Structure 1
Amino acid sequence: MSRRARRQHAPAFKAKVALAAIKGEMTLAQLAEHFDVHPNQITQWKSQLQEAAAEVFGPGGGNRASESAVDVKTLHAKIGELTLENDFLEGALSKAGLLSAKR
């Protein structure tokens, strides 16, 4: 009995399967056979779609992508700043003999 390698599904495929499950025209077993996915996975994608559907019609609608891009830029800048501070403090503490070589 050999195991199948773990597969990565595209978001579009997940949405397609979840929408088919929500429509209810086919049973979970039929959908699983048709899309070659485990029925538990279909149920999970269906619940994720139903939970996230409210966000589409909420305030801000579909603007999440542009907001997250701005947040990522800000976070990357903060990471760089903190890295510089850590490097500076590490060097200063090493020169003062207060930082042990075994970190």
Structure 2
Amino acid sequence: MAAVKGEKTLAVLAQQFDVHPNQITTWRGQLLEGAAGVFGSEGHSEPTEPAIDVKTLHAKIGELTLVNDFLSGALSKAGLLPSAKR
């Protein structure tokens, strides 16, 4: 933040924080590039499609429901389920 404020020279900051002036320049550049993303920009909009594939999740839910129903029926026929579940 001290480099962004510009109150001290790179040489003074490098000596104060015991780092090379090039490192301070790199960090300052990264901060300034990333700061725009924190507050958002008017030119970019949110993605309209969710990051999660809903169709795949629905297919998996259907598959697991089918397996669950099958196993429940098989265990009921074998008499391995408690009477409350029959």
Q: Which has the higher contact order (CA 8 A, sep 6+)?
A: 1
TM-score (norm 1): 0.39
TM-score (norm 2): 0.46
